[in-house]
Chain A
Amino acid sequence: MAQPSDGRPGGVIHDIGYRPYSGPRLGTRDAGRSLFVTGLLNAYGIGRSGRAKGLPMTLLALMIVPAAIMVAVMVTLGLTDGFLDYGTYPVTLMLVIVIFVAAQAPVLFSRDLRSGAISLYLARPLSATAYALVRWASLFVAILIFIALPVIVLYVGALTAEADFSEHTADFLAAMVGIVLLSAVLATLSGLVASHTRRRGLAVGVTIIALLVSTGVVSAVQAITDVQGNETMGLVVGLFSPFSLVDGVQVGLLDGQSSFQVSPDGAGWGLIYLLASLAVIAGGLWLLVRYYRKQAGR
């Protein structure tokens, strides 16, 4: 065949149209940002199959519809003061929030671990620590949007109905602080469960059971201690459920209204509740990061 015997080249390089990547080369920070945005959208099923959108979108609608109805009732009947209570709205719709958190945390934390795609992510410049924190941030913001949106609907509805601006704004901001704290606690706990139990069904079950059973136990024991007049015991018990924990911070420090039988009435217990919730977040994140570091080492 083509023997380069007389010094002429024997082969030809054809240009068959391969193009080099000529776009901007982004750094680690941008990889993290894009992971965050993808995770946030995936939590609502955007960018996934149509069936994956069904549950989160239905639950979001379930969250917003009662708020819209409340606004409609308020506008029709002209009830502008004392009708809306922003802080207790999340506790009223606790079941919907718990189902959302439990169903969507495995989307962000279980799938990569189960399919083994985690080793591909961790082979890139993004470190295991950053990966875990970015995933947590996606879940946190997704839950934050989920809980805050109906409360914003309530607030905007109240303002358009010309309710008292300063009073409503103060209540709204206090409730928002509570919602941010609640989202962070829920994201931490559900992320921990989802990353440790890789099978989706089990992760969902354990998260729902843990959140609902703990809140049920807290309400039951508080009802008993309330009858017995043992208030300290009731306050201690309140530390053991995310919902009563954040409720306590709202009531004790931000002058909100409580949805639980026993709640701190002074700043002292409010501070203890706040410290406990911050400790849960910090400790949970530490465990999460440690777990992903271990995954990277394998």
Chain B
Amino acid sequence: MNPTIARLALQSLFGQKRWWVLVALPLLLMGLCLLVQLLTSGDAAATSFEAVIVVFGLGLVLPLVSLLVTTGVLGPEIDDGSIVYLLSKPISRYVVALSKLVVAVVVTVVLGAGSLFISGLILDPSAPGQALAVGVGSAVAGTAYCAAFVMLSAINRHGMISGLIYVLVFEGLLASWLSGLRYVSVSAFGRRIAEGLDDSLNLIAGNLPLAYAWIASLVVIVAGGYVAGRRLARFQLGGDE
């Protein structure tokens, strides 16, 4: 960890116009939960808990926030070439990548998992245990998402687009038909972990083994950190096509 690089990464996330997109999604989620709570009275809100949290929270807001954060932390410097100045400093490139990744994870956990926790509380104030389980599950899933998106953006130049295709087409569209895809879906890991923490939750995770969900998340996170470092270590300046 290098504090200066972490501070710069944080600055690049919140110093530009991008920050309101980052904040808008969690606010929208919490606003939707408030609206649901206002429109439906009492118990009915608790029944829409799963629908709002699974489909909208874990399915859209968490991955999109983590995608925006991850591409925002690594992408712009590579795009405009100023990464050269950073890489010419006598700092291990793994440390550079790790510092940036840690910032991305912290922001994702605070904005994504935090907003999911609060949404859970808004929808069902009588069961803070459920909200906490959802919060922890989405914190793990958010971390794994950051790592997965780092890997995707290391594989090709269009990190944002391939990340969106993973979230929307692969997890959103295909996984609803092909249930076997839950073994490679970060969202399913997060839902299973949340279920494992609170038995009363049913987040449609299928019969995924709980240990598998934890181990797979861990593998994705470690692999993401390694791939990001390796990518920077082998970084070569190329012309913008």
Report which A residues bind B (CB closer than 8 A): 49, 95, 99, 103, 197, 199, 201-202, 204-206, 208-209, 212-213, 216-217, 220-221, 223-225, 227-228, 230, 233
Stretch at the interface among B28-36, B89-97, B196-204: B28-36
Among A201, A204, A206, A213, the most chain B Cβ lie within 10 Å of the Cβ of: A201
Question: Of A95, A202, A217, A230, which one neighbours B18 at CB under 8 angstroms?
Answer: A202
Q: In the complex, A103→B67 CA distance in Å?
A: 16
Which residues of the partner chain A approach B21 to less than 8 Å between Cβ atoms?
Answer: 206, 209
Determine if B51 and A220 form an interchain contact, defined as CB atoms under 8 angstroms apart. Answer: yes
Which residues of the partner chain B approach A225 to less than 8 Å between Cβ atoms?
Answer: 39
The smallest C-beta distance from A220 to any residue of chain B, in angstroms, reads 6
Q: In the complex, A44→B215 CA distance in Å?
A: 43
Determine if A224 and B160 form an interchain contact, defined as CB atoms under 8 angstroms apart. Answer: no
Which residues of the partner chain B approach A205 to less than 8 Å between Cβ atoms?
Answer: 64, 67-68, 71, 160, 164
Assuming the A-B contacts A205-B160, A224-B40, A230-B39, are A212 and B32 also in contact, with contact meaning beta carbons closer than 8 angstroms in the complex?
Answer: no
Determine if A199 and B79 form an interchain contact, defined as CB atoms under 8 angstroms apart. Answer: yes
Assuming the A-B contacts A95-B168, A209-B21, are A233 and B32 also in contact, with contact meaning beta carbons closer than 8 angstroms in the complex?
Answer: no
Among A204, A212, A213, A227, the most chain B Cβ lie within 10 Å of the Cβ of: A213
Which residues of the partner chain B approach A197 to less than 8 Å between Cβ atoms?
Answer: 17
Which residues of the partner chain A approach B173 to less than 8 Å between Cβ atoms?
Answer: 95
Extra pairs beyond A205-B71, A228-B39 (7, CB < 8 Å): A95-B169, A201-B79, A202-B71, A205-B67, A206-B21, A212-B60, A217-B56
Determine if B158 and A201 form an interchain contact, defined as CB atoms under 8 angstroms apart. Answer: yes
Determine if B55 and A213 form an interchain contact, defined as CB atoms under 8 angstroms apart. Answer: no
Which residues of the partner chain A approach B32 to less than 8 Å between Cβ atoms?
Answer: 217, 220-221
Report which B residues bind A (CB closer than 8 A): 17-18, 21, 25, 28, 32, 35-36, 39-40, 44, 48, 51-52, 55-56, 60, 64, 67-68, 71-72, 75-76, 79, 158-161, 164-165, 168-169, 173, 241
Q: In the complex, A49→B60 CA distance in Å?
A: 33
Which residues of the partner chain A approach B165 to less than 8 Å between Cβ atoms?
Answer: 99
Q: In the complex, A99→B169 CA distance in Å?
A: 10
The smallest C-beta distance from A113 to any residue of chain B, in angstroms, reads 14
Assuming the A-B contacts A220-B55, A224-B40, are A201 and B75 also in contact, with contact meaning beta carbons closer than 8 angstroms in the complex?
Answer: yes
Q: In the complex, A206→B159 CA distance in Å?
A: 14
Determine if B159 and A201 form an interchain contact, defined as CB atoms under 8 angstroms apart. Answer: yes
Question: Of B40, B51, B79, B159, which one neighbours A228 at CB under 8 angstroms?
Answer: B40
Determine if A216 and B18 form an interchain contact, defined as CB atoms under 8 angstroms apart. Answer: no
Q: In the complex, A220→B33 CA distance in Å?
A: 11
Assuming the A-B contacts A205-B71, A217-B28, A224-B48, are A103 and B161 also in contact, with contact meaning beta carbons closer than 8 angstroms in the complex?
Answer: yes
Q: In the complex, A221→B35 CA distance in Å?
A: 8
Determine if A204 and B169 form an interchain contact, defined as CB atoms under 8 angstroms apart. Answer: no
Determine if B25 and A220 form an interchain contact, defined as CB atoms under 8 angstroms apart. Answer: no
Which residue of B has the minimal Cβ distance to A221? B35
Question: Of B36, B60, B160, B161, which one neighbours A216 at CB under 8 angstroms?
Answer: B60
